[in-house]
Structure 1
Amino acid sequence: MPEVLEPVRPAVRRLHRPLLLMVASMTLLLAVSAVGMVTDDRVLLGASVWAKPLKFAVSFIVYGLTLAWLLSLPHKAGRWTWWMATLLAVTGMVDVGVVVVQAARGTFSHFNQADDPFTDGIMLVFGIGVQLLMLANFVLAGLLIFQRVGDRVLAWAIRAGLAFVIAGIGLGFWIPARSAEVWTAIDAAGHAVPLASQHNVGVPDGGPGLPLTGWSTVGGDLRIPHFVGLHGLQVMLAVALVLGLPAGRVARLRAERTRVGLTLVAAAAYAGLIVLVTWQAVRGQPLIHPDGRTLGALALLVAATAAAGWAVVAAGGRRLS
């Protein structure tokens, strides 16, 4: 059994219960939102009012399961990580609950500046929840990045992945910081609602978007780098798994040093991807319509990654000979 998989079996018995409760609630929300998208014809900025709850449910399911497994691995400061993960689970359910309530009301959950007591109260809860959610993620990342969890390959994958999560959170907070001008959008009932920020660049929020994600197909969209960063942990764990599975059969991957090197190359490539999609978005460019400069930067990133990966594997081969 590859080293990266050795901790899996005992870890299953120690999964974090509050995170699993959060995952269960998000799974229920996923089903409700899917039904709502079919049966409820109300829209916000051209998308179903239930599209945002559905996307949040999927994201929290993936992140919750990943974190529950990760925290079941032997690590230091387990009491601190347990409580921070519990805070994350609770605030995650509260904040997504606000998203659901606002969707059911046919109005906006993010940046809503409507002047009524209920909106003021629920946005206050939402804002506090976001701050606590960010705090929990920062503390968890700080506790886990500076220790070794699992073998060296898995440890570096976790460190890089958590760093990407923090970068994704930062990019999420950059959206309102970058575009703080109040503008007016129309809710599902036809009422004008003041919003404090926009995530699109070069075009108003709403309009044509990609299926499921809703990312703009006519302008830049800052939600893209935010998403790419937030899910870097899953990508890096997948890299560690992919490198570990053939390690027993492929001589060049047998050495842990080689797999660590390839993991670091993958991490550098993913960091470059985050920078690339951020640069593309801030120039008001849709993800699916890259210009020559974006394609050139992507080609350079791919070439540099391939060269670095080849160098790591070649160095490993020389040590075998």
Structure 2
Amino acid sequence: MTQLDEGSTLPLESGPRRPHRPLLVACGLMAALLLWSLAGLVLDDRLIGGEPAWAKPAKFAAAFVLYTATLAWLLGLPHRGSRVTRCMGTIFAVTTVVDVGFVVVQAARGTFSHFNTESDAVNTVGQLIFASGVPGLFAANLVIAVVVLWQRVADRPVTLAIRAGLVLAVAGMALGYLMGFTGARTAEAADGRAVELVGSHTVGDRGVRDDPAGLPVTHWSTTGGDLRVPHFVGLHGMQVLLLAAVALGFAARRYPALREERARARLVGVLAAAWTGLLALTLWQALRGVPPAAPDGPVLLTGAALLAATALGVALVLSAAVLRRAPATRVSH
């Protein structure tokens, strides 16, 4: 095991002992779905609510590829309560495939998967699946977070990234429920019929609803606040923090100030705080009805303050690490 400093090792070197197979299977299925959906975006020109029919399956597939792969790795790390977490991982994997499967079915049928009030048999059954499946995903992730949160499953930076990431993911999933309270609206299915929906992704004055065009790729609203933004930020915080922890571990080979595990852990902590601030900022922006790509003065000012606080935190951590190493350097000379 490569030593960086006394009591400090490169993150992830011990690696997962036994990655969670059901989650890996779910990840593989989501990857296949992503390829299928990308082909659908090229070959199928139908629009559902003004959005390409296969855009939603593609976005769900991409998101779950990232999350199931991360969770499969995490549950492979040695930890107490692994029987419980692996059971929850299986529930998460099965629910993912079933829920996203319904999104695919509805896309193929040319209608909406979310908030749809149509009374046909497929939609009725599908909405029942969502009504039980979405809470199942949330509950499984919450149980995993509760079990893992108090354990050290890797080096300190990676452990902190996992802990903060799980909390952020639970928060991100919970924020998805807000979309069901934005009010009813009517949208157009692929065949032109009007469909009554009981919720939407956007918040705004004067009846602002989901923007058919939206931003490129994400299709986030350009006319109102979009709750999908904080939902996205929360769900993928763990991947960002883990990448940061790994990057810091490799950077420590070159930069002496990062060789101390404590310094890297504190930097991950600063980033975790910043990402939590970003989650709060994007939620505040969405609830105020401010479009993601057109932030107003208060959002810009708050964002600048968050960026400045993050930079200050990084500077303080690095300065302290350099000062702690200075005496040792002088003694060695």
Same fold per superposition (TM over 0.5): yes
Instruction: Report the Cα distance in structure 2 between the residues aligned to 1:25 and 1:271, rounded to whole angstroms.
Output: 31
Deviation digits for residues 164-203 of structure 1 (CA, Å, limit 9, x no counterpart): 10110111112213x1x32221111111211111111222
Say which of 129, 135, 150 aligns to 2:139: 135
3-state SS of paired residue (2:285) = helix
Q: How far did 1:131 drift?
A: 1.6
Instruction: Report the Cα distance in structure 2 between the residues aligned to 1:182 and 1:49, rounded to whole angstroms.
Output: 21
2:52 maps to 1:48: yes
Aligned position for 1:250: 255
* Alpha carbons of structure 1 residues 144 and 268: separation in structure 2 relative to 1, 3 Å: same
Structure 1 residue runs of 5 or longer lacking an equivalent are none
Question: Are the counterparts in 1 of residues 51 and 213 from structure 2 also a CA contact under 8 Å?
Answer: no
Aligned position for 1:296: 301
Q: How far did 1:148 drift?
A: 0.9
Say which of 191, 197, 204 aligns to 1:189: 191
2:261 maps to 1:278: no
Question: Are the counterparts in 1 of residues 75 and 85 from structure 2 also a CA contact under 8 Å?
Answer: yes
Question: Are the counterparts in 1 of residues 186 and 195 from structure 2 also a CA contact under 8 Å?
Answer: yes
Query: Which residue type is aligned with residue 5 of structure 1?
Result: L
2:239 maps to 1:234: yes
Aligned position for 2:10: 3
Structure 2 residue runs of 5 or longer lacking an equivalent are 3-8, 327-333
Instruction: Report the Cα distance in structure 2 between the residues aligned to 1:318 and 1:265, rounded to whole angstroms.
Output: 19
Q: How far did 1:156 drift?
A: 0.7
Say which of 191, 201, 204 aligns to 2:203: 201
Say which of 259, 262, 271 aligns to 1:266: 271
Question: Are the counterparts in 2 of residues 208 and 218 from structure 1 also a CA contact under 8 Å?
Answer: no
Deviation digits for residues 115-172 of structure 1 (CA, Å, limit 9, x no counterpart): 2333212210221111211111111111111111101111111100111101101111
Question: Are the counterparts in 2 of residues 19 and 65 from structure 1 also a CA contact under 8 Å?
Answer: yes
3-state SS of paired residue (2:195) = strand
2:44 maps to 1:33: no
Deviation digits for residues 74-93 of structure 1 (CA, Å, limit 9, x no counterpart): 11111111111010000000
Instruction: Report the Cα distance in structure 1 between the residues aligned to 2:93 and 2:36, rounded to whole angstroms.
Output: 20
Aligned position for 2:96: 92
Which ranges of 4 or more aligned residues in structure 1 deviate by more than 2 Å?
115-118
Question: Are the counterparts in 1 of residues 12 and 154 from structure 2 also a CA contact under 8 Å?
Answer: no
Query: Which residue type is aligned with residue 37 of structure 1?
Result: L
Instruction: Report the Cα distance in structure 2 between the residues aligned to 1:248 and 1:105, rounded to whole angstroms.
Output: 53
Give me the CA root mean square deviation.
Answer: 1.3
Question: Are the counterparts in 2 of residues 156 and 264 from structure 1 also a CA contact under 8 Å?
Answer: yes
Say which of 111, 118, 123 aligns to 2:115: 111
3-state SS of paired residue (2:78) = coil
2:75 maps to 1:68: no
Question: Are the counterparts in 1 of residues 211 and 222 from structure 2 also a CA contact under 8 Å?
Answer: no
Deviation digits for residues 33-92 of structure 1 (CA, Å, limit 9, x no counterpart): 111111111101211111000111111111111111111111111111111101000000
Aligned position for 1:318: 323
Instruction: Report the Cα distance in structure 1 between the residues aligned to 2:195 and 2:201, rounded to whole angstroms.
Output: 16
Instruction: Report the Cα distance in structure 1 between the residues aligned to 2:120 and 2:254, rounded to whole angstroms.
Output: 64
Structure 1 vs Structure 2: percent identity of aligned residues? 50
3-state SS of paired residue (2:187) = strand
Query: Which residue type is aligned with residue 321 of structure 2?
Result: G
Instruction: Count residues with an aligned counterpart.
Output: 316
